Structure 1
Amino acid sequence: MSVTSIKNWAEDDRPREKLLLKGKSSLSDAELIAIIINNGTKEASAVQVAQKLLASCDNQLQKLAGLTVKDIQGLKIKGIGEAKSVAIAAALELGIRREVISKKKETIRTSEDAAAFLQAQFQHYAEEVFVVVFLNTGNKIIHYEIVSHGGHSATIVDTKVIMKKALQQNATKLIISHNHPSGNLQPSKADDSVTQKIQEAARLLDIEMLDHIIVSDMGYYSYGDEGRL
Protein backbone atom coordinates (compact mmCIF):
# COMPACT_ATOMS: atom_id res chain seq x y z
CA MET A 1 0.00 0.00 0.00
CA SER A 2 1.39 3.42 -0.92
CA VAL A 3 0.54 6.84 0.43
CA THR A 4 -0.03 10.11 -1.33
CA SER A 5 3.30 11.84 -1.90
CA ILE A 6 3.88 15.12 -0.10
CA LYS A 7 4.42 16.58 -3.57
CA ASN A 8 0.72 16.00 -4.25
CA TRP A 9 -0.47 17.68 -1.05
CA ALA A 10 -1.98 21.15 -1.12
CA GLU A 11 0.87 23.65 -1.20
CA ASP A 12 0.19 25.08 2.25
CA ASP A 13 0.18 21.54 3.74
CA ARG A 14 3.68 20.65 2.50
CA PRO A 15 6.22 21.34 5.27
CA ARG A 16 8.72 23.28 3.14
CA GLU A 17 6.10 25.34 1.35
CA LYS A 18 4.20 25.89 4.59
CA LEU A 19 7.36 27.23 6.23
CA LEU A 20 7.95 29.61 3.32
CA LEU A 21 4.34 30.76 3.23
CA LYS A 22 3.52 30.97 6.93
CA GLY A 23 6.85 30.96 8.77
CA LYS A 24 8.64 28.33 10.86
CA SER A 25 6.41 28.83 13.90
CA SER A 26 3.42 27.54 11.93
CA LEU A 27 4.92 24.06 11.61
CA SER A 28 4.35 21.24 14.08
CA ASP A 29 7.30 19.36 15.56
CA ALA A 30 6.60 16.49 13.17
CA GLU A 31 6.60 18.82 10.16
CA LEU A 32 9.92 20.35 11.17
CA ILE A 33 11.45 16.89 11.58
CA ALA A 34 9.96 15.89 8.21
CA ILE A 35 11.97 18.68 6.57
CA ILE A 36 15.14 17.29 8.20
CA ILE A 37 14.55 13.70 7.08
CA ASN A 38 13.49 14.94 3.62
CA ASN A 39 11.50 11.92 2.47
CA GLY A 40 9.47 9.04 3.79
CA THR A 41 8.86 5.50 2.58
CA LYS A 42 6.44 3.85 0.16
CA GLU A 43 4.06 3.30 3.07
CA ALA A 44 4.44 6.58 4.95
CA SER A 45 5.16 10.21 4.15
CA ALA A 46 8.04 12.04 5.80
CA VAL A 47 5.55 13.68 8.18
CA GLN A 48 4.10 10.29 9.17
CA VAL A 49 7.60 8.89 9.74
CA ALA A 50 8.36 11.92 11.90
CA GLN A 51 5.14 11.39 13.84
CA LYS A 52 6.16 7.78 14.56
CA LEU A 53 9.54 9.00 15.78
CA LEU A 54 7.97 11.52 18.13
CA ALA A 55 5.41 8.98 19.37
CA SER A 56 8.29 6.67 20.35
CA CYS A 57 9.50 9.47 22.66
CA ASP A 58 6.06 10.20 24.13
CA ASN A 59 5.83 13.21 21.79
CA GLN A 60 8.44 14.99 23.91
CA LEU A 61 11.24 16.79 22.07
CA GLN A 62 13.33 16.80 25.24
CA LYS A 63 13.34 13.00 25.28
CA LEU A 64 14.22 12.88 21.60
CA ALA A 65 17.02 15.41 22.15
CA GLY A 66 18.53 13.11 24.77
CA LEU A 67 18.93 10.21 22.32
CA THR A 68 22.17 9.35 20.60
CA VAL A 69 22.37 8.35 16.93
CA LYS A 70 22.46 4.70 18.00
CA ASP A 71 19.43 5.25 20.22
CA ILE A 72 17.45 6.72 17.32
CA GLN A 73 18.44 3.82 15.08
CA GLY A 74 17.51 1.44 17.88
CA LEU A 75 13.90 2.63 17.66
CA LYS A 76 13.79 0.76 14.32
CA ILE A 77 11.44 3.20 12.63
CA LYS A 78 11.17 2.41 8.95
CA GLY A 79 12.46 5.31 6.92
CA ILE A 80 15.02 6.45 9.50
CA GLY A 81 18.42 4.92 8.91
CA GLU A 82 21.88 6.02 9.97
CA ALA A 83 22.09 9.12 7.76
CA LYS A 84 18.71 10.47 8.89
CA SER A 85 19.48 9.61 12.51
CA VAL A 86 22.68 11.67 12.22
CA ALA A 87 20.77 14.59 10.68
CA ILE A 88 18.11 14.51 13.42
CA ALA A 89 20.71 14.30 16.21
CA ALA A 90 22.70 17.17 14.69
CA ALA A 91 19.63 19.41 14.33
CA LEU A 92 18.53 18.78 17.91
CA GLU A 93 22.06 19.42 19.19
CA LEU A 94 22.01 22.80 17.47
CA GLY A 95 18.80 23.56 19.33
CA ILE A 96 20.38 22.59 22.64
CA ARG A 97 23.46 24.72 21.96
CA ARG A 98 21.29 27.69 21.04
CA GLU A 99 19.46 27.30 24.33
CA VAL A 100 22.75 27.08 26.23
CA ILE A 101 24.00 30.29 24.62
CA SER A 102 20.76 32.11 25.39
CA LYS A 103 20.90 31.03 29.05
CA LYS A 104 24.63 31.45 29.56
CA LYS A 105 25.74 34.38 31.67
CA GLU A 106 29.41 35.28 31.72
CA THR A 107 29.12 35.98 35.44
CA ILE A 108 27.25 33.70 37.83
CA ARG A 109 25.56 35.73 40.55
CA THR A 110 23.04 33.25 41.94
CA SER A 111 22.17 29.57 41.94
CA GLU A 112 19.36 30.46 39.55
CA ASP A 113 21.91 31.79 37.03
CA ALA A 114 23.94 28.61 37.28
CA ALA A 115 20.92 26.31 37.14
CA ALA A 116 19.48 28.01 34.04
CA PHE A 117 22.77 27.51 32.21
CA LEU A 118 23.20 23.92 33.39
CA GLN A 119 19.61 22.91 32.63
CA ALA A 120 19.91 24.25 29.11
CA GLN A 121 23.09 22.27 28.65
CA PHE A 122 22.25 18.79 29.84
CA GLN A 123 18.76 18.29 31.29
CA HIS A 124 18.03 16.51 27.99
CA TYR A 125 20.50 13.68 28.65
CA ALA A 126 18.94 10.24 29.11
CA GLU A 127 22.01 9.19 31.10
CA GLU A 128 23.46 10.78 34.19
CA VAL A 129 26.38 13.12 33.55
CA PHE A 130 28.58 15.13 35.90
CA VAL A 131 29.58 18.67 34.93
CA VAL A 132 32.03 21.13 36.45
CA VAL A 133 31.90 24.88 35.83
CA PHE A 134 35.20 26.66 36.49
CA LEU A 135 35.17 30.34 37.49
CA ASN A 136 37.61 33.12 38.32
CA THR A 137 37.61 35.42 41.35
CA GLY A 138 34.87 37.58 39.79
CA ASN A 139 32.58 34.55 39.32
CA LYS A 140 33.09 34.73 35.56
CA ILE A 141 32.85 31.40 33.75
CA ILE A 142 36.24 30.32 32.44
CA HIS A 143 35.33 26.85 31.22
CA TYR A 144 32.78 24.11 31.74
CA GLU A 145 33.09 20.43 30.98
CA ILE A 146 31.35 17.09 31.35
CA VAL A 147 33.83 15.07 33.41
CA SER A 148 31.87 11.85 33.74
CA HIS A 149 29.15 9.90 31.96
CA GLY A 150 27.09 7.30 33.77
CA GLY A 151 23.98 5.19 33.45
CA HIS A 152 20.36 6.07 34.09
CA SER A 153 20.84 6.51 37.83
CA ALA A 154 24.53 7.08 38.65
CA THR A 155 27.89 8.31 37.43
CA ILE A 156 31.39 7.82 38.83
CA VAL A 157 33.32 11.00 39.62
CA ASP A 158 37.12 11.21 39.95
CA THR A 159 37.98 14.06 42.31
CA LYS A 160 41.63 14.11 41.17
CA VAL A 161 40.56 14.74 37.57
CA ILE A 162 38.38 17.67 38.64
CA MET A 163 41.15 19.27 40.69
CA LYS A 164 43.65 18.81 37.87
CA LYS A 165 41.31 20.54 35.43
CA ALA A 166 40.69 23.36 37.92
CA LEU A 167 44.43 24.01 38.18
CA GLN A 168 44.82 23.84 34.40
CA GLN A 169 42.11 26.49 34.04
CA ASN A 170 43.59 28.65 36.83
CA ALA A 171 40.16 28.55 38.45
CA THR A 172 39.64 30.00 41.91
CA LYS A 173 36.04 28.82 42.19
CA LEU A 174 33.94 26.00 40.83
CA ILE A 175 30.40 24.71 40.67
CA ILE A 176 29.72 21.00 40.36
CA SER A 177 26.50 19.65 38.92
CA HIS A 178 24.82 16.53 37.69
CA ASN A 179 21.46 15.64 36.24
CA HIS A 180 18.78 13.23 37.44
CA PRO A 181 17.16 11.73 34.31
CA SER A 182 14.35 10.39 36.49
CA GLY A 183 13.26 13.94 37.29
CA ASN A 184 13.61 13.42 41.05
CA LEU A 185 15.66 16.31 42.42
CA GLN A 186 16.34 14.97 45.90
CA PRO A 187 20.05 14.27 46.51
CA SER A 188 21.14 10.76 47.42
CA LYS A 189 23.67 9.72 50.06
CA ALA A 190 26.13 9.21 47.20
CA ASP A 191 25.49 12.80 46.07
CA ASP A 192 26.18 14.02 49.61
CA SER A 193 29.40 12.02 49.76
CA VAL A 194 30.67 13.35 46.41
CA THR A 195 29.82 16.90 47.46
CA GLN A 196 31.82 16.64 50.66
CA LYS A 197 34.75 14.90 48.98
CA ILE A 198 35.13 17.49 46.22
CA GLN A 199 34.62 20.40 48.59
CA GLU A 200 37.39 19.14 50.89
CA ALA A 201 39.76 18.57 47.96
CA ALA A 202 39.03 22.04 46.58
CA ARG A 203 39.62 23.65 49.98
CA LEU A 204 43.10 22.09 50.16
CA LEU A 205 43.94 23.87 46.89
CA ASP A 206 42.37 27.18 47.98
CA ILE A 207 39.58 26.74 45.46
CA GLU A 208 36.09 27.69 46.60
CA MET A 209 33.26 25.34 45.70
CA LEU A 210 30.26 27.62 45.28
CA ASP A 211 27.56 25.01 44.83
CA HIS A 212 26.47 21.54 43.83
CA ILE A 213 23.39 21.78 41.65
CA ILE A 214 21.20 18.85 40.65
CA VAL A 215 19.11 19.51 37.56
CA SER A 216 16.32 17.82 35.66
CA ASP A 217 13.48 18.91 33.40
CA MET A 218 11.49 19.38 36.64
CA GLY A 219 13.75 22.10 38.05
CA TYR A 220 16.88 22.17 40.19
CA TYR A 221 18.22 21.54 43.68
CA SER A 222 21.00 23.73 45.10
CA TYR A 223 23.16 22.53 48.01
CA GLY A 224 24.11 26.17 48.53
CA ASP A 225 20.55 27.41 48.77
CA GLU A 226 19.75 24.63 51.23
CA GLY A 227 22.69 25.62 53.46
CA ARG A 228 24.44 22.31 52.91
CA LEU A 229 27.88 23.59 51.92
Structure 2
Amino acid sequence: MDNFDMSVFDKKKELQKALNYTLEHYRPHDPGSYLYNKIFEFKFSQKFSEDFIELLYVTLSAWNMNSRGAKLSDFSVFSESIKEHKSDFKKLEHQKIQDLEKNKEIIKDLFDNLKVVDEGKPPLVTFSKTLHFILPDLIAPIDRRYTLRFFYGKNTDTCFRSKDKQFEVFWRIETEFSKFAQKQKDLNSYVDKNGWNRSIPKIMDNAVIGFISPTVEREKAEQKKKEKEKKEKLKTIQASHK
Protein backbone atom coordinates (compact mmCIF):
# COMPACT_ATOMS: atom_id res chain seq x y z
CA MET A 1 0.00 0.00 0.00
CA ASP A 2 1.44 3.36 -1.05
CA ASN A 3 -0.66 5.78 1.00
CA PHE A 4 -2.62 5.68 4.25
CA ASP A 5 -5.23 7.46 6.37
CA MET A 6 -5.72 8.05 10.08
CA SER A 7 -7.65 4.81 10.55
CA VAL A 8 -4.29 3.05 10.99
CA PHE A 9 -4.26 4.62 14.48
CA ASP A 10 -7.73 3.48 15.53
CA LYS A 11 -6.09 0.97 17.87
CA LYS A 12 -4.39 2.71 20.78
CA LYS A 13 -1.39 0.39 20.64
CA GLU A 14 -0.66 1.51 17.06
CA LEU A 15 -0.90 5.17 18.05
CA GLN A 16 1.39 4.65 21.03
CA LYS A 17 3.86 2.64 18.94
CA ALA A 18 4.11 5.44 16.36
CA LEU A 19 4.50 8.13 19.04
CA ASN A 20 7.22 6.12 20.76
CA TYR A 21 9.10 5.78 17.47
CA THR A 22 8.99 9.53 16.92
CA LEU A 23 10.12 10.23 20.49
CA GLU A 24 13.11 7.92 20.10
CA HIS A 25 14.17 8.65 16.53
CA TYR A 26 12.88 12.04 15.32
CA ARG A 27 15.33 14.93 15.67
CA PRO A 28 16.63 13.82 19.10
CA HIS A 29 19.39 16.47 19.25
CA ASP A 30 18.09 18.93 16.68
CA PRO A 31 17.94 22.71 17.35
CA GLY A 32 14.46 22.60 15.81
CA SER A 33 13.25 20.81 18.94
CA TYR A 34 14.69 23.49 21.25
CA LEU A 35 13.21 26.29 19.15
CA TYR A 36 9.83 24.54 18.99
CA ASN A 37 9.63 24.47 22.76
CA LYS A 38 10.67 28.14 22.94
CA ILE A 39 7.64 28.93 20.75
CA PHE A 40 5.37 27.67 23.52
CA GLU A 41 6.80 30.11 26.05
CA PHE A 42 4.84 32.89 24.34
CA LYS A 43 1.19 33.56 25.14
CA PHE A 44 -1.11 34.26 22.20
CA SER A 45 -1.15 37.98 23.03
CA GLN A 46 2.65 38.05 22.62
CA LYS A 47 2.68 36.34 19.24
CA PHE A 48 2.58 39.56 17.25
CA SER A 49 5.63 41.04 18.94
CA GLU A 50 8.90 41.40 17.07
CA ASP A 51 10.54 38.91 19.45
CA PHE A 52 8.04 36.17 18.69
CA ILE A 53 7.97 36.77 14.95
CA GLU A 54 11.78 36.63 14.84
CA LEU A 55 11.66 33.32 16.74
CA LEU A 56 8.95 32.06 14.38
CA TYR A 57 11.04 32.97 11.34
CA VAL A 58 14.18 31.30 12.75
CA THR A 59 12.21 28.19 13.71
CA LEU A 60 10.76 27.89 10.22
CA SER A 61 14.31 28.07 8.85
CA ALA A 62 15.39 25.36 11.30
CA TRP A 63 12.46 23.27 10.06
CA ASN A 64 13.89 23.46 6.51
CA MET A 65 11.59 26.17 5.18
CA ASN A 66 14.45 27.71 3.23
CA SER A 67 15.27 24.50 1.36
CA ARG A 68 13.64 21.68 -0.65
CA GLY A 69 11.96 24.15 -2.97
CA ALA A 70 10.64 26.36 -0.18
CA LYS A 71 11.80 29.95 0.26
CA LEU A 72 10.64 32.17 3.08
CA SER A 73 9.71 35.71 2.16
CA ASP A 74 12.04 38.45 3.38
CA PHE A 75 11.70 38.92 7.12
CA SER A 76 10.25 42.42 6.82
CA VAL A 77 7.54 41.16 4.46
CA PHE A 78 6.89 38.10 6.62
CA SER A 79 6.64 40.12 9.82
CA GLU A 80 4.37 42.79 8.37
CA SER A 81 2.05 40.19 6.89
CA ILE A 82 1.66 38.36 10.23
CA LYS A 83 0.84 41.65 11.96
CA GLU A 84 -1.60 42.71 9.25
CA HIS A 85 -3.64 39.55 9.82
CA LYS A 86 -3.73 39.79 13.61
CA SER A 87 -7.51 40.22 13.62
CA ASP A 88 -7.98 36.97 11.68
CA PHE A 89 -5.67 35.10 14.03
CA LYS A 90 -7.52 36.60 16.99
CA LYS A 91 -10.79 35.08 15.74
CA LEU A 92 -9.09 31.66 15.81
CA GLU A 93 -7.33 32.04 19.17
CA HIS A 94 -9.55 29.67 21.16
CA GLN A 95 -10.40 27.24 18.36
CA LYS A 96 -9.39 23.57 18.48
CA ILE A 97 -8.71 21.22 15.60
CA GLN A 98 -12.06 19.59 16.34
CA ASP A 99 -13.60 22.97 15.33
CA LEU A 100 -11.76 23.09 12.01
CA GLU A 101 -14.68 22.99 9.56
CA LYS A 102 -16.48 26.06 10.89
CA ASN A 103 -13.30 28.12 10.49
CA LYS A 104 -12.63 27.27 6.85
CA GLU A 105 -13.41 30.74 5.47
CA ILE A 106 -10.95 32.53 7.77
CA ILE A 107 -8.24 29.91 7.23
CA LYS A 108 -8.71 30.08 3.45
CA ASP A 109 -8.36 33.86 3.61
CA LEU A 110 -5.10 33.47 5.52
CA PHE A 111 -3.86 30.88 3.02
CA ASP A 112 -4.60 33.22 0.12
CA ASN A 113 -3.14 36.36 1.65
CA LEU A 114 -0.40 35.62 4.18
CA LYS A 115 2.99 36.38 2.63
CA VAL A 116 5.08 33.67 4.25
CA VAL A 117 6.94 32.56 1.11
CA ASP A 118 8.44 34.37 -1.87
CA GLU A 119 6.13 35.10 -4.79
CA GLY A 120 5.68 31.98 -6.90
CA LYS A 121 6.94 29.57 -4.24
CA PRO A 122 4.56 26.87 -2.92
CA PRO A 123 2.99 27.98 0.40
CA LEU A 124 1.45 24.66 1.52
CA VAL A 125 4.12 23.42 3.94
CA THR A 126 5.30 26.80 5.22
CA PHE A 127 1.73 28.00 5.75
CA SER A 128 0.80 24.92 7.77
CA LYS A 129 3.83 25.29 10.03
CA THR A 130 3.34 29.03 10.47
CA LEU A 131 -0.25 28.51 11.54
CA HIS A 132 0.72 25.63 13.81
CA PHE A 133 3.22 27.83 15.64
CA ILE A 134 0.66 30.60 16.12
CA LEU A 135 -2.40 28.34 16.63
CA PRO A 136 -0.97 25.03 17.91
CA ASP A 137 -4.35 23.67 19.05
CA LEU A 138 -6.06 24.28 15.70
CA ILE A 139 -3.61 23.42 12.90
CA ALA A 140 -1.18 20.52 12.50
CA PRO A 141 2.11 21.08 10.64
CA ILE A 142 2.46 19.42 7.24
CA ASP A 143 5.65 18.43 5.47
CA ARG A 144 6.52 16.66 2.25
CA ARG A 145 8.70 13.85 3.61
CA TYR A 146 6.26 12.48 6.18
CA THR A 147 2.75 13.99 6.03
CA LEU A 148 2.35 14.13 2.26
CA ARG A 149 4.07 10.75 1.87
CA PHE A 150 1.60 9.25 4.38
CA PHE A 151 -1.56 10.66 2.78
CA TYR A 152 -0.55 10.83 -0.90
CA GLY A 153 2.09 8.16 -1.47
CA LYS A 154 5.41 8.60 -3.26
CA ASN A 155 4.27 11.04 -5.94
CA THR A 156 3.83 14.15 -3.80
CA ASP A 157 4.64 16.51 -6.68
CA THR A 158 0.96 16.41 -7.68
CA CYS A 159 0.14 18.19 -4.41
CA PHE A 160 1.85 21.36 -5.65
CA ARG A 161 0.30 21.80 -9.12
CA SER A 162 -1.38 25.10 -8.24
CA LYS A 163 -2.15 27.23 -5.21
CA ASP A 164 -5.77 26.03 -5.26
CA LYS A 165 -4.56 22.43 -5.33
CA GLN A 166 -2.30 23.13 -2.37
CA PHE A 167 -5.20 24.45 -0.32
CA GLU A 168 -7.24 21.40 -1.31
CA VAL A 169 -4.44 19.16 -0.04
CA PHE A 170 -3.99 21.25 3.11
CA TRP A 171 -7.69 21.13 3.90
CA ARG A 172 -8.04 17.42 3.21
CA ILE A 173 -5.18 16.58 5.60
CA GLU A 174 -6.33 18.94 8.36
CA THR A 175 -9.86 17.55 8.00
CA GLU A 176 -8.53 14.01 8.42
CA PHE A 177 -6.81 15.13 11.61
CA SER A 178 -9.95 16.93 12.79
CA LYS A 179 -12.17 13.88 12.31
CA PHE A 180 -9.65 11.66 14.09
CA ALA A 181 -9.52 14.08 17.05
CA GLN A 182 -13.31 14.12 17.22
CA LYS A 183 -13.38 10.33 17.30
CA GLN A 184 -10.49 9.77 19.71
CA LYS A 185 -11.61 11.55 22.86
CA ASP A 186 -8.52 10.82 24.97
CA LEU A 187 -5.77 12.41 22.87
CA ASN A 188 -5.15 14.92 25.66
CA SER A 189 -3.64 12.09 27.68
CA TYR A 190 -0.69 12.04 25.25
CA VAL A 191 0.10 15.75 25.63
CA ASP A 192 3.60 16.38 26.96
CA LYS A 193 4.39 19.98 27.89
CA ASN A 194 8.15 19.42 27.66
CA GLY A 195 8.58 17.51 24.42
CA TRP A 196 7.29 17.09 20.87
CA ASN A 197 3.71 16.23 21.90
CA ARG A 198 2.77 19.76 22.90
CA SER A 199 -0.75 19.79 21.45
CA ILE A 200 -3.32 17.43 19.93
CA PRO A 201 -2.51 18.51 16.33
CA LYS A 202 1.21 17.83 16.94
CA ILE A 203 0.42 14.47 18.54
CA MET A 204 -1.32 13.41 15.32
CA ASP A 205 1.54 14.77 13.23
CA ASN A 206 4.01 12.83 15.38
CA ALA A 207 1.95 9.67 14.94
CA VAL A 208 2.16 10.09 11.17
CA ILE A 209 5.93 10.68 11.40
CA GLY A 210 6.42 7.59 13.55
CA PHE A 211 4.28 5.40 11.31
CA ILE A 212 5.75 6.40 7.95
CA SER A 213 9.41 6.93 8.99
CA PRO A 214 10.49 3.28 8.57
CA THR A 215 9.01 3.31 5.06
CA VAL A 216 10.76 6.59 4.23
CA GLU A 217 14.09 5.28 5.54
CA ARG A 218 13.73 2.01 3.62
CA GLU A 219 12.95 3.89 0.39
CA LYS A 220 15.93 6.17 0.97
CA ALA A 221 18.22 3.16 1.44
CA GLU A 222 16.84 1.51 -1.71
CA GLN A 223 17.42 4.71 -3.68
CA LYS A 224 21.02 4.96 -2.45
CA LYS A 225 21.58 1.33 -3.42
CA LYS A 226 20.23 1.95 -6.92
CA GLU A 227 22.41 5.04 -7.34
CA LYS A 228 25.48 3.10 -6.18
CA GLU A 229 24.74 0.25 -8.60
CA LYS A 230 24.24 2.75 -11.41
CA LYS A 231 27.61 4.39 -10.71
CA GLU A 232 29.37 1.02 -10.56
CA LYS A 233 27.76 -0.04 -13.85
CA LEU A 234 28.88 3.22 -15.46
CA LYS A 235 32.44 2.70 -14.21
CA THR A 236 32.43 -0.83 -15.67
CA ILE A 237 31.24 0.47 -19.05
CA GLN A 238 33.84 3.26 -19.05
CA ALA A 239 36.60 0.80 -18.12
CA SER A 240 35.63 -1.55 -20.94
CA HIS A 241 36.10 1.26 -23.49
CA LYS A 242 39.63 2.14 -22.43
Fold similarity call, TM over 0.5: no
More strand by share: 1
Q: TM-score, normalised by structure 2?
A: 0.25
Q: Bigger radius of gyration, 1 or 2?
A: 1
The structure in which a higher percent of residues are helix is: 2
Larger RCO: Structure 1 or Structure 2 (Cα < 8 Å, ≥ 6 residues apart)? 2
